Structures are given as structure tokens and as C-alpha cells.
Structure 1
């Protein structure tokens, strides 16, 4: 799965001047053409309201101006979006924030789309190994003790074994000295979930798997089998197992039948609960939903049922709409 297929919350393109508008518009069309949810704005002095809403932000402006801008909003490597800069002429694509958390791959993907040159400066990419942050993203877990990352990178770039416990196999695209399980030579261990064995005297990086809530909206004509197919398709797209799903949520009771068939808990959400959701990153309603006086269903249902942030913006699968929030 390419990085563009994993930008489930989408990309925001921000251009600073009219001289960058053509490049911004070109990239907007190219990303939309690949199916990536994409928005575009001219910078108006406030990027803060968008900062937490997208997987990646592309700044079409001078690098020095982008650095000053990003410094206003950067929080931490585990919270910030991938930020990439493109010069007004569309010649160079440069990751400047969250390089190992997606920005490097986003820059390379955009460069390929535009026929530009990606400027990558991190050592893991130079060595041809998968970054530890990218591994965590593929495993759908959060690194909780990021202060250990420099030690683990030193080992990884020296080709020392990085042992992983809590999973049975590595994603096929992973490169580097990662190994499954613990052996006598393990000095560096990544634990996915809680470790079930004593690991005294060994450096440990903890990666905690997160849970999700699936929000579902559907047309009145949609059948139960369509809902089942849409949920399965969504989980396959994310690469997440059903064991990570805390609930399927909807305002339609019959979605509960689909959840039951899949062995998943169901949460019936009221329209009042949807209206009470105050989440600045939810996708704006379509013209049709506005005419009906509805702000949305799938995303808001996932959030109303306990989701803390969107993982996957709403997607339409036949007559069913699905969104996913993480907990």
C-alpha cells in the first residue's frame, strides 16, 4: 500500500502567493485524481485551525518562510502532521516536519506525481531501511517512549537486530534488521502491546495498539449485506483486524444486524448526539446534507460513540458511507 493510499484524513495544500497558485492547483488535481481527499487554501495568516485535521500539509512557498510558519504550530513528533514544502515553480519537494512520520514518503510520492525532485536528508532513507515510526504506522500502534528512538536508530543503522514481540509477522514492505521474537542476541526490543516476558537489562520501545470505532451511514435502500461488505472493505483498506474495533456506530438500527453478523458490538447513536459533536476536523456536509439540515452521519457517529479523532474520513462504498475514528 502506497503512502497516498494511507492518507486517510487527506492532504491540505497551502499556497502563500499568486506565483505559487499554478503549482498548488496542479498538485490539487493530481492528488484528487489518485483518490486522495485533498483541500486547498491560500494562506490567510492562520494555519492552526487546520493543523490537527489532515495527515499531511503541503506548503507551496519558500523554504525559509515555511520553517517560520511551522514553528508557530509544531507540538511534538507524535502529534504533528507530515509537512512538506514545494517551491512556487514545483521543482523541489522537501519534507520539513515529521520526516519519519510520513513526510519523506509524501515528498517522494508528490515528486513522482509532479516530475519534481524530492530532497530527503534522513539517514534511514539513505540506508534503505524502514523507519521505526513508519513501522509503528504500519502496525497501527503508538510509540509511547519516544525518548528511546535515538538509541534504536543507532542500532538499526548499525544493522543490529531489532527484535519485535507481540506480532506474528512483519508487513511485507518492511526493510532493515527487524526480526520477530526474542533471541539471545537481542539488545533492542520493540513491544507491540504489553510484554508477557521479563525483559530486564534490554532497551525497550513500547508501541501501544489503538482501537477504533466505525461510523456508518446508508441510504434507505441499502441492504444488510451491503453494510457488511462496506465494513469489511474499510478494515481491509486500513489493514486493521476486527479485534481492534470497539464498536460500529450508526443512527440506523439495522446497521446493528450487520455488526452482529460480523461479531462486532453495535452502538445506536441518536441525532441529538450527532448534533452535539463539536469536532473542527469533520468533513463539511455536502449540499444534499445541508438541504436536509444534517451535518453528516458516518464521521459524527464514530466520534459521538467515543472516537477521539478521525482516522479515516468518510468514504462512499456503494450505498453505504463509512468513517473510522480512533480511540
Structure 2
């Protein structure tokens, strides 16, 4: 028993004629007749009496008709309910993010996302870029927020924004009186850096090495918040993402734009190639882009 057979059966029952049923279904008359015969064979009994040029339901047909209508209505409802579920983001969504982005970008972005998809159960994983790529490839992650480069043949990504890096200095430093710094201001300073295990750490370390900054590295840490705390204590200066500056409420250190040759990173939303760019993923990308525009640092003196 197949759905199209039930549709032809209901149309024939209501029209009282195979020819009129074929017109209603926009299907050739022999096809409608053959499919009704197959339906009768599958239920093991005839469903119509042939009356002159028309047809009329017999007892079996009258018994099947309300059931057939109910089945077809439920199938139609299933499609409508599925569309409603998709619009509400029904189900689970596993999002990954690197730790140098997640605490700054996700709170505001996911607040908007969960209002839009109120039936979506979110799971967040913070990890290193390499492990997030593994999660995308083995389908344990639906999407991941990372920084370029994202290099895997099974991973696609969309650029969300380019973010500048900023210098951060303790309030006790003479540099705290400045509105911006040049590379020459940083070259003789003790430096606290984030570990190379992070893509951000590798980017900042490369910048410092090529620009002659960081000849006096006093400490490395795997946590950005620890780096900031060490700067606050006066151990040295550092280079951090602008979003860390934009979301900071601390007054014990001072963020400064780097005037020339400032490093930057490209923030991306990545997903597995054959998973497709779903409406939910498209909406998430739009929300993330909007949220990133709010994570711009404004000096206290310019507020």
C-alpha cells in the first residue's frame, strides 16, 4: 500500500469515476486505474463496484475511505509540522568555538540565537582549532567558530569578520598614558604571551618575532584571562584580540591600538562540506556578524 494509491482511491471515491479522478489528480486514466487495482490487491479485496460508466464504493471501500483520508491528512500535517520544527530550530545543534573567541562572542550572539530558535537545544564545545576541525569532519560538531587558516578538504567556511589585535599594558606602565602605541614602544617591554597551542598564540608569537617585539618574554599562558591578569599585576605587556578589550570591565590595565602594522585575525564559521548551508546555519552566521560589529573597543577617553 502506497500513498499515491490512497490518493487515487480517495479521488475516485469522491468523484465516482476513474476518468474524473484522473483529471483531479492530473494523471493518466490508465495509471489511476492500475494503481487502484494494485491497492485492491494489497488489501485482498475489491473496493469498488463497477456501476455502468462509473464506480461506487462497496463495503470494504466505505470502511477504508475514512482511514485513507486520515492517513493522507496526517502525512500532510507531518510536512507542515516538519517545516514548523525547522523554523523553530527543533532538535540539537552542537557548536564549537576556539577558547579565544567563545567567552567574548558567544554570550550575546547565542542570546539572540535562542530567541530566534526557541526549540533548539544548544551544546557548546570550546577547544583548539585542530580538534574542532576533527569534530566537523567526524560529524560530532554541526559548525565551529574559528580563525583562519582552516585547512581541510572536507571543511568549508564563511568569513565573518577581520579583527585587529591590541596592546594591553598595566596601569602602572608609562605606556598607559598614551592613546596608541608604535612597535618601537613595545620592543623593550617585558611581554606576557598566550601559548602557541592556540592559533591566536601562534599568530601573536609570529607577529612579535617578525616585528622584534618580545625579546623579553617573561611568561606564556594557555588562558587569555590569565595573560590579562598577569598584565594587571605588572609582569609585562601583551597583545590580545579587540573583543577582549571591548568586553573588559577592568580598570587595572589599559588597552591601546597598535598604530602601524597591527596584527589581525580572520574569524570564520566552518562546517563539513557535505552537510550543506542550512537556514539555521545561515541565521547563525548573520547573528554572529552583527554581534562582531558590537565588539569594537572604544577608549574610555573617547566614550
Q: TM-score, normalised by structure 1?
A: 0.22
For CA contacts below 8 A with separation 6 or more, give which structure has more relative contact order: 2
* Max Rg structure: 2
Q: TM-score, normalised by structure 2?
A: 0.23
Of Structure 1 and Structure 2, the greater helix share is in 2
